[in-house]
Structure 1
Amino acid sequence: MPASLSSPSFCAIDFGTSNSAIAIPRLDGSGGMRLVELEAGQPTMPTAVFYYVEGKHDADGPPRAFGRAAVAAYVEGADGRLMRSMKSILGSGLIDQTTDVGGGRGVKYSDILSGYLKRLRNSALAAGAPAPLNKLVLGRPVFFVDGEPKRDAQAQASLEAAAHAVGFDDVHFQFEPIAAAFDFEQHSEREQIVLVADIGGGTSDFSVVRVGPERMKRVDRRDDILANHGVHIAGTDFDRHVELASVLREFGYRSYGPERPGAPAREVPSGVYFDLATWHLINTVYSPGRVAELRNMRSFYGNIQHHQRLMTVVEDHLGHELAGRAEAAKIAVANGGDTVIDLGVVENGLQIELSEAAAVAAIGPDIERIAQAGREAVAQAGLKPEQIDALYFTGGSTGLRLLAERIAADYPTAVLARGDRFASVATGLGLHAARLFR
């Protein structure tokens, strides 16, 4: 009997800014779905690829590591290039460009995406998913690009093309927060209206969805989706603001040059600092031309130590290290209390104190914009805040106490619920795939 009749050959992928997951049908005849264990028994894998300088191409392309192995290779100092936050490339002009990954190799950003999706597909096949595994539900944010429908459509088309390139010929999309609502619905004992707050690394999405035991039997749920709205602000933006407000001040950000006769001191150019605080732009700072340009800017700095530290970062390729430490500091203070950021990797004994108040000042405006997006979703549904029965949090950034408390404050009568911050969207996408393809 053909595989399509004897056993369903489909899957669902949550391709996230920070982490990804894939769901496949259970083979026990239950009709349920399961998440594939991708690494070390974990159902999620960091959305990261490390390209090694050394090694030969094989049938799949240049020598690479994926997920936790990719991050480990970078942390351990392997010679190569780490790619993260790849989802943020969608909808930008970078998608068709080629980037240097070391060892004289160039790789198109679109091929980086398809290579990662191929890794997920191969992992599913290795875990027992029946071939040909050519049917796919892909999650997508409400907006890849805020306020630009043409670029948003291009972003989805690029992701779909990457999926087609690795063997998925029947590709459907579902909004990530709606998928999370399907996950919440599994445990719902009555009909209710839920506001899903799906806040990950790249986007903050809200959906107002009607859920319930009877409604979950339907394949077509369009009438139950009352509204969805989102903004392209999330965890990586918090990291960037924290890094600029704390870490990069010690390297000259917002500092001034020397005073000159008859002219006030000028602020040091800030472009390099914004690039250092943006994951997918960090490597652009390491190009020989850029390094030479920065080296020649020594006279721009009133505090020469700032320039020396900056050059250590760009010459030793420490940008991702600084970004990682800023991210860890954000998590520490956003859950309450102060922390110390150790920058001894750049200069022996260098460290910075980061207070909760300073973090709030850095990310507070973004948190307010995210909360506003939730209120707009409710308004688009024609509802008032008190008509929301449940507020369902999912996505890695909802683990930040400051953010979750701010959003919840707008819905004082709603029951608060939390899904698996990293896997509830993939679970919901799997449920949708099962209804769609069966």
Structure 2
Amino acid sequence: MASTSSALPRDICAIDFGTSNSAVAVPAQEGGQLTGGMRLVPLEGRHTTMPTAVFYFAEGRHDADGPPRAFGRAAMAAYEEGVDGRLMRSMKSILGSSLIDQVTDVGGGRGVKYADMLAGYLKHLRRQAIQDGIEPRRVVLGRPVYFVDGEPARDAAAQASLTAAARAVGFEEVQFQFEPIAAAFDYEQQATREQRVLVADIGGGTSDFSLVRVGPDRMQRLERREDILANHGVHIAGTDFDRHIELAGILREFGYRALGPARAGQPPREVPSGIYFDLATWHLINTCYSPQRVMELRNMKPFYGEPRHHQRLMTVLEERLGHELAHRAEEAKIAVSGGGGCQIDLGLIESGLSVELREETAVGALQSDIERIAAAGRETVAMAGLTPADVDALYFTGGSTGLRLLAERIAADYPQAQQVRGDRFASVATGLGLHAARLFAG
């Protein structure tokens, strides 16, 4: 990360708290001496990014921080190994919703508030940054352009909740920067001339666009408001893709959009679909396991024209396999992201059961979302009073830009723009670090 100042304090950091992955930047040092730049913190071994995931163990004693937990890759490993407990992901998507103050069951007879769950993850990130005399008390947090689309009050509440969580874990000063603006600062390090760059930051929870004027003569300025030509976003991204893939490619084998038996000369009716939408939404999966709901679904067997669909659904509910299905949908999305197809093994539900996911199925499932995301990019340019021909560069960042179908569709609107791919998982954190260095420099 480029040097910005020789007088950086030791109590600053920047955090990219992402829907799917997170990263932290702190002042860089060598031999105990600050070098004047920022660096990404190794969070797990050599990895400078970490899955935004927490696993609550069903067994074990509470400590001062709460129930026994694992974070990041360790959380994912515990889940994949079948350890008794509950995996939490997509915590960022809870911000701005009524769930933030609710308590959820995490196993072992324990309940945890979603707000405390989020704060616990931030506390873990801060602890990873405390080393070699660095103890962050001031932070720049990244945020999407909109936590909640079209609802300013809920959007403000989301930022307030994130601020409260950051203060609760020891940050005394909390600043925010839009994630796509941060990505533009990262891109600016390689800019050799002044350009108008459209940043497409497509992550797990939001798709954000910013049109920013960048250049070597501008990068040292702290006040960049006049260089931010427009920003816009939609609350559609990777987790939505996963949900559509699961519905189209997996849950049809469990009764989604299937027909029930014909009755009294009437045409068959479609099986009620509410349970399937909840099973395909990470933060709602656990609601499917309540005894009352399981009993309700068990009594719905007569609504199914194909008994095997109902039997498979009940296996998922009774053995609490919903998160595993969501995980396999995510893996399938990744597998087809470069083209072709894949086979989804569902043998854990029923011996020999598998589903083929072909690229055309994925295209059909994701087409509407991809078009809405591309439209948000075009609207961003229009908000700046410009046309696609005025965009000099298109900068892709965020994990979901690895989806070929999406990147190609966005790029098609800007045929004259140079296409540049940043680090899909670290560009935002790098840019937030640059901003923190400029903001907090002594």
> TM-score band (shorter)?
over 0.9
Q: How far, CA to CA, are the matches of 1:12 and 1:129 in structure 2?
A: 16
Verify the 8 A CA contact 2:8 2:440 in the aligned structure 1.
no
Does the 8 Å contact 2:118/2:165 carry over to 1? yes
Task: Tell me if 1:74 matches 2:76.
Answer: no
CA distance in 2, matches of 1:129, 1:360: 50
Offset, 1:129: 5.3
1:235-264 per-position Cα deviation (integer Å, ceiling 9, x unaligned): 111111111011000000001111111333
Spell out the pairing of 1:96-135 with structure 2 (5 A cutoff).
96-125=101-130, 127-128=131-132, 130-131=134-135, 133-135=136-138
The answer to whether 1:285 aligns with 2:285 is: no
Letter in 2 for 1:423: A
Match of 1:166 in 2: 169
Alignment coverage as a number of residue pairs: 432
Tell me the equivalent position of 2:4.
Answer: none
1:299 and 2:302 correspond: yes
Residues 397, 422 of structure 2: 8 Å contact kept: yes
**Deviations for 1:189-219, whole angstroms, at most 9, x for unmatched residues?**
1111100000000000000000011100101
Distance across 1 between alignment mates of 2:177 and 2:438: 13
Q: Is the contact between residue 337 and residue 402 of structure 2 (CA under 8 Å) also seen in structure 1?
A: no
Which position in structure 2 is the counterpart of 1:344? 347
Q: Is residue 24–residue 129 contact of structure 1 (8 Å, CA) maintained in 2? A: no
**1:8 offset after TM fit, Å?**
2.6
**Residues of 1 paired with 2:341 and 2:59: CA distance?**
41
Q: Does the alignment pair 1:377 with 2:395?
A: no
Residue 232 of structure 1 is aligned with which of 235, 254, 258? 235
* TM-score computed with the length of structure 1 as normaliser: 0.97
CA distance in 2, matches of 1:145, 1:276: 22
Specify every segment of 5 or more residues in structure 1 that has no aligned partner in the other structure, as ranges. none
Q: Matches of residues 11-410 of structure 1 in structure 2 within 5 Å?
A: 11-28=13-30, 29-125=34-130, 127-128=131-132, 130-131=134-135, 133-410=136-413
CA–CA distance in structure 1, aligned partners of residues 132 and 280 of structure 2: 40
Deviation at 1:334, TM superposition (A): 2.5
Q: Percent same amino acid at aligned positions?
A: 74
Q: Identify if the C-alpha distance between structure 1 residues 129 and 116 changes in structure 2 by more than 3 Å, giving closer, same or farther.
A: farther
Alpha-carbon distance in 2 for matches of 1:437, 1:262: 74
Distance in 1, Cα, partners of 2:127 & 2:391: 41
Q: Secondary structure at the match of 1:393?
A: strand
The whole-number CA distance in structure 2 between the counterparts of 1:75 and 1:305 is 26
2: distance between equivalents of 1:258 and 1:430? 59
Residue identity in the other structure for 2:96: G
Distance (Å, rounded) in 2 between the aligned partners of 1:33 and 1:309: 51
| Structure 1 position 6, deviation (Å) | 8.6
Q: Kindly indicate whether the alpha-carbon contact (under 8 Å) linking 1:94 and 1:109 is maintained by their aligned counterparts in 2.
A: yes
Offset, 1:340: 1.2
- Cα distance in 1 between the residues matched to 2:172 and 2:184: 27
Mapped contact 1:48–1:85 kept (Cα < 8 A): yes
2:417 partner amino acid = A
Q: Distance in 2 between matches of 1:266 and 1:384?
A: 48
Structure 2: distance between partners of 1:331 and 1:99: 29
Aligned counterparts of 1:235 and 1:38: Cα–Cα separation in 2: 23
3-state SS of paired residue (2:349) = coil
* Contact 2:255–2:310 under 8 Å retained in 1: yes
Root-mean-square deviation (CA, aligned residues, Å) is 1.1
Higher mean Cα deviation, 246-255 or 22-31?
A: 22-31
Amino acid at match of 1:383: L
User: Which of 8, 11, 14 is matched with 1:9 structurally?
Assistant: 11
Q: Structure 2: give runs of 5+ residues left out of the alignment.
A: 1-6
